[in-house]
Amino acid sequence: MSGPRAASEPAATITTADALHQFARDVFTRLGTSAEHATTIADALVWANSRGVDSHGVTRIPRYVELIERGDVNPTPTLTARVETAATVLIEADRAPGP
């Protein structure tokens, strides 16, 4: 539908990938993840948005917040390589966020 937007629709906000990355990193840092893990999560989410896969981008942040606050995702995981072969690694992720 074209024309003026309805009064109930919020105006679109345009931001840079860097600002979006900083926002995502700040959210996860405030939830207790290390700076390194927060950066990794932000990298993955913003990268997904940059590739046009918005369903796996920053739109996931509220769900991650919910999972961390509920205790279903561990914001301070210990990652351990359990089995390594020439082509694969089995990692015990300690309920880490996906990225």
**Bridge partners (DSSP) listed for residue 70:** none
DSSP E strands in the chain: the ranges are 80-84, 89-92
At how many degrees (to 10) do helices 61-70 and 17-30 cross? 10
**Bridge partners (DSSP) listed for residue 84:** 89
pTM summary value: 0.79
pLDDT of residue 98: 83
- Cβ-based neighbours of 74, under 8 Å, separated by 6 or more: 68, 94, 95, 96
User: Does 2 score more than 60 pLDDT?
Assistant: no
**Bridge partners (DSSP) listed for residue 89:** 84
Residues 4-42: tens digit of each pLDDT:
666 677 777 788 999 999 999 999 999 999 999 999 999
Residues 30-89: tens digit of each pLDDT:
999 999 999 999 999 999 999 999 999 999 999 999 999 999 999 999 999 999 999 999
